[in-house]
Amino acid sequence: MHLRVFLLSFNCGIISVMVANNAGLPATPEDLINVDDVIGKYYDAVPDSAVAAQRVIFGTSGHRGSSLKTSFNEAHIVAITQAIAEHRKAAGISGPLYIGRDTHALSLPAWKTAVEVLVANGVRVRIDANDDFTPTPTISQAILTHNRAADGTQRFNGADIADGIVVTPSHNPPTDGGFKYDPPTGGPAPEETTNAIATRANELLDGYRSVKRIPFEQAVKSELVESFDYREHYVSDLANVIDFDLIRSSGVRLGIDPLGGASVHYWPLMNEKYGLDIGVINPETDPTWRFMTIDHDGKIRIDPSSPYAMKGLVDRLNAGAWDKYDLVGGTDPDADRHGIVCPGTGVMNPNHYIAVCVEYLFSGNRPGWPEGAGIGKTLVSSSLIDRVAASIGAKLVEVPVGFKWFVDPLFSGEVAFGGEESSGMSFLRKNGRVWTTDKDGLIPDLLAAEITAKTGKNPSQLHEEQVQRFGESWYKRVDTPTTLEQKQKFAGLSGDAVTASTLAGEDITAKLTEAPGNHAKIGGLKVTTKDNWFAARPSGTENIYKVYAESFVSPEALDTVLDEATQVVDTALEG
């Protein structure tokens, strides 16, 4: 029987405080962007560097904003690209720059602007040979394979070293644009690099018209612009990560919904190369995303882990499509996030799927992985992962929030898998070498089919077995309004700021302001007990702080953890 693949995406387990009345309902004409207006303001609106909200700000994954708010406009991209060109010259990066874009309305204009500035700076630029959308992980994989030495190790300096740019705001609403730089390590740039790029970009912002550019139609014909088949390069390499023979011979029927994103043309090529029958549910790309249901906050958000954003797809499956598929996977617009949907249970909590993946991967199914390689998780991911790791004797490496913390451990083999609560993950090739150092939303969907083929059970069924062995847990995230002054206090918090000795009736076992896995500052606080924990950290873009919490006791205990966590944090911030 052939594999039937159908791709989708959902947000489970992370629960916001406010849920809009239209959450989960189909988008209406009033919810859709005016594409011409969004693109027009990209060129016409000019930011003012004296206005904080209009400056270049690099978060955990680059600069993001909206042309409608004068926070993502031509001036920003000119300034950022020039700053990147200067950075790579100072760093001695002389190889090609791999650049790609997703399906957001602002991505193509920003991509063109970047090419104009890069060529004017004499940078070799590699663009997609098919004039296609480019998933984030394909940029990472292209950089890493380019920089691989003859002995299979990675090069970070020397002749012809490559880096890259991805033009994407990830799963953010259709109004938004995003622009991020990947250094030769292939993943999100470290803070010292992004800070330097942002500082220089803001110096250039008001005078962006003086930055040298070459008109796009002229630039794209330059000998500096080289065609590169990202799709062929990535898909041909996938057999070194996923067991396609097992999937093909098993008869597992998998479905895929690209959610109008950049992975849409990658699945048919997998069918062709590996003899699969992957059924793409909705091959449409539309920058308004009119086919989505509304997310929790009343916006269109293409989040593969949101039950609200994915309700329309689940409803279709429950209305009869499950007769064709055994499980469904999904990706977001730049395909760096995944979602897994199983019959009868809906979208899996990303934490639960991570726990299933690590138990499968570290239980003899990747014999070529380095001995002693650990499991990487963010400190706000479920402690179910900790319990699974302990049961199979695997080392756990807990890092702060942000996939950038997995870059070095994946390179060194300290971890063979890195996963975060927001449905992002990557893992090593079968031979133990690095695959990507950025999130890859395609391989988790394919791994779900491999797991089902090998075990005869879908990931949701395997999670239920884990619950029987390790206990059921309840997990939430709550956003609390705060002031800028209080947000700044998070950086100075220490364990001593927590005066409580118990949490939800259990003795506190740890008060952390550094991640146990790498001793990096977490920018907040994590408090643990035997069966409960919470972590609090400020938002990088809003005047709120986020409290993540989990309880292995009961839903009521989780509510108690959240209530007490808010009291603990408020007391600490007032001290």
Active centre residues (catalytic): 170
Q: Please, what sign has the CA dihedral across residues 464, 470, 474, 477?
A: negative
User: Is 189 in contact with 404 (CB distance < 8 Å)?
Assistant: yes
User: Read out DSSP for 236-299?
Assistant: HHGGGTS-HHHHHHHT--EEEE-TTSTTTTHHHHHHHHHT-B-EES-----TT-TTSBP-TTSS
Q: What is the C-alpha to C-alpha distance for residues 76 and 208, in angstroms, rounded to an integer?
A: 8
Q: Three-state SS string across 469-517, please?
A: HHCCCEEEEEEEECCHHHHHHHHHCCHHHCCCCEECCEECCEEEEECCC
Q: What is the C-alpha to C-alpha distance for residues 505 and 245, in angstroms, rounded to an integer?
A: 51
User: Is 6 in contact with 328 (CB distance < 8 Å)?
Assistant: yes
Q: What is the C-alpha to C-alpha distance for residues 370 and 428, in angstroms, rounded to an integer?
A: 10
Contacts of 571 (CB under 8 A, 6+ apart): 497, 499
Q: What is the C-alpha to C-alpha distance for residues 511 and 532, in angstroms, rounded to an integer?
A: 13
Residue from 56, 94, 52 nearest 208 by CA: 56
